[in-house]
A = this chain, B = another copy of it.
Amino acid sequence: MSELPLILVTNDDGIFSPGISYLAKIASTFGRVVVVAPDKPQSGMGHAITINSTLRIQKTSHHNAEKEFACSGTPVDCVKMAVNHILKKRPDLVLSGINHGSNSSINVIYSGTMSAAIEGALEGTPSIGFSLCDYSIEADFAQAGKFIAGIIAESLKNKLPKGVCLNVNIPKLKEEDIKGIKVVRQARANWVERFEERKDPYGREYYWLTGEFVNFEPESNDTDEWALANGYISVVPTQSDLTAHQVLTTLKHFETL
């Protein structure tokens, strides 16, 4: 039996996207690779799971992986399906991405890529989500290849803290211009949305969600936004406890209602 680590690779752009091909290729230099990824783009799906409908999986063979399945569900469904149904043993690492576009700051909660990594950590497996700040289908993932490999190697060698995954965002820069890695926190930010109204061929309104990203703390130098703006790869340790611990005491007055 092989001693090589078992690595589950998934994403949210779909099993045919260039980003997951590149990630599966890097992963294969570290161990046995199993790919379970959505059969279609699932960007912006957050931590959605499929409970009102059924799921399908289909064998594919696009990534030279040990096993590959396209799944009809969300990125989180893919991780659950892989861990609880497809894999015979628990994976040693879950890798998600490489996403075409940033998942820094508040984007983490909308991101299917990061939700898959968070789900991996919930399932007890060290997990990393990778995103490149370049939406182009022709984005050059190789520019950050040595850093991606380094982060994977380090995570396999020294296990990540339990329940914590990494949110890795890579600036759109040439290899020689990437200054290194910063371990930082999620910047406080939000999207200012606009709904673009259009008319369908039958005269009825429909809408496209669009928006502009606003960093609420551009001056802070310990955030992922700062790191990316300054030529660094940002690594945010990420977890799934949403409790606002700092106000637990402040809100005790609700107990007197």
B243 touches A185 (CB 8 A): yes
Cβ-defined partner of A244 (8 Å) among B45, B115, B237, B244: B237
Contacts of A239 in B (CB 8 A): 242-244
Cβ-defined contact, A240 with B106, below 8 A: yes
Q: Please pick, from B56, B123, B166, B257, the residue contacting A205 in the complex, using a CB distance under 8 A.
A: B56
A156 interface residue, CB < 8 Å from B?
no
Centre residue among A122, A184, A208, A241 by max chain B CB count within 10 A: A241
Interchain nearest-CB distance for A56 vs B (Å): 5
A47-B46, A55-B206 known; A237+B247 contact, CB < 8 A: yes
Tell me the A residues contacting B by CB distance below 8 Å.
41, 43-52, 54-57, 74, 76-77, 80-81, 83-85, 106, 108-110, 115, 118, 122-123, 147, 150-151, 154, 158, 160-161, 163-164, 166-167, 180-186, 188, 190, 192-195, 198, 204-209, 235-245, 247-248, 250-255, 257
By a CB distance below 8 angstroms, the chain B residues around A45 are 46, 48
Do residues B237 and A243 form an inter-chain contact, with CB atoms below 8 A? yes
The closest CB in chain B to the CB of A47 belongs to B46
- Closest-CB distance, A81 to chain B (whole angstroms): 6
